[in-house]
Amino acid sequence: MASNFEGLLREALAPVDPPHDLGQRLEGALTGLTEMAADELEAWELSAMRDPRNWARPAAALVVGSTAGVALVLLRARRRLH
Boundaries of every domain in the chain: 21-81
Q: What is the C-alpha separation between 26 and 68, in angstroms, rounded?
A: 10
**Stated pTM of the model:** 0.71
pLDDT tens digits for range 22-54: 989 999 999 999 999 999 888 887 777 788 888
Contact (Cβ atoms closer than 8 angstroms) between residue 30 and residue 71: yes
Of the two residues 15 and 50, the one the predictor is more confident about is: 15
d(CA 53, CA 17): 46
- pLDDT value of residue 67: 96
Residue 3 pLDDT class (50, 70, 90 cuts): low
